[in-house]
Amino acid sequence: MNKIEDDKKRIAKIMEILEKEYPNVKSDLINTSPFQLLIATILSAQCTDKRVNMVTPKLFSEYPTAKELANAENEDVEEIIFSTGFYKNKAKNIISCSNYLLENHSGEVPSTMEELVKLPGVGRKTANCVLGNYFEPEGIVVDTHVIRITNLLGFVKTRNAEAIERYLMKIIDKKYWVNSTHYFIRLGRAVCIARRPKCSECKIKQYCNNYKENMKL
């Protein structure tokens, strides 16, 4: 009857199942500080976490904090992060981002959405990621997996990340705001794969509109 109330119950069940399936989830991006997670997340745009983790050990070894990265040469950074793609934009962003942190936040990463999205190369997705892992979440990370899976499940019918985030914040219990994204990412990589979803192996197929409409009957 009431879609929101119905969706609240359905996603609560889904969270319960995925929590059992993927216990102790956390970010797969290698990092030892908010600054490093921020940089790694900027690098992760349209790129796999595995690939980002191949370049960040060298990057963070040479430029461990905003202080070092702010004074880095553009070409040196480009060479290290080249394989992550969009390397010119990403190099420019993480260097000017480091400069901004030095000038405005003593080199530390701010802990609010309002301040984070002012950083060059940082939008709501990256900001939510840093907030959720190191501070208090102000929203829900909506990445490519969350967009695809929430549409397939039937919670939303849009590719607009902000619209999806607003709706998920209405229906997901706040205790799952951080982990729900991790669950969808794990499910998206292993089971609900973009090119070919493995619905037969899916633990939440009984709660999935796409499965009910296309796979059954």
Partner DNA sequence: CTCCCGATAT
Partner DNA sequence: ATATCAGGAG
Q: Which residues bind DNA (CB under 7 A)?
A: 26-29, 41-42, 44-51, 82-90, 93, 117, 119-127, 129, 132-133, 141, 143-145, 148, 161, 181-182, 185, 188-189, 194-196
Taking the complex as a whole, the smallest distance from the CB of residue 1 to DNA amounts, in Å, to 33
Measured distance CA(167)–CA(123) in Å, rounded? 18
Taking the complex as a whole, the smallest distance from the CB of residue 2 to DNA amounts, in Å, to 30
The one catalytic residue in 8, 125, 203, 216 is 125
Nearer to DNA, 27 or 204 (CB): 27
What is the CB neighbour count within 10 angstroms for residue 3?
A: 11
| Residues 138 and 132 sit within 8 Å (Cβ to Cβ) | no
Would you call 203 a catalytic residue per the annotation?
no
Taking the complex as a whole, the smallest distance from the CB of residue 138 to DNA amounts, in Å, to 14
Looking at residue 198, the DSSP 8-state letter turns out to be: -
The one catalytic residue in 3, 8, 67, 143 is 143
3-class SS at 86? coil
The tokens for 78 are 């480009």
Nearer to DNA, 93 or 150 (CB): 93
Nearer to DNA, 3 or 74 (CB): 74
Taking the complex as a whole, the smallest distance from the CB of residue 3 to DNA amounts, in Å, to 25
Measured distance CA(3)–CA(26) in Å, rounded? 30
Structure-token match 């959405």, residue found: 113
Would you call 6 a catalytic residue per the annotation?
no
Nearer to DNA, 125 or 205 (CB): 125
Q: Which residues are catalytic?
A: 125, 143
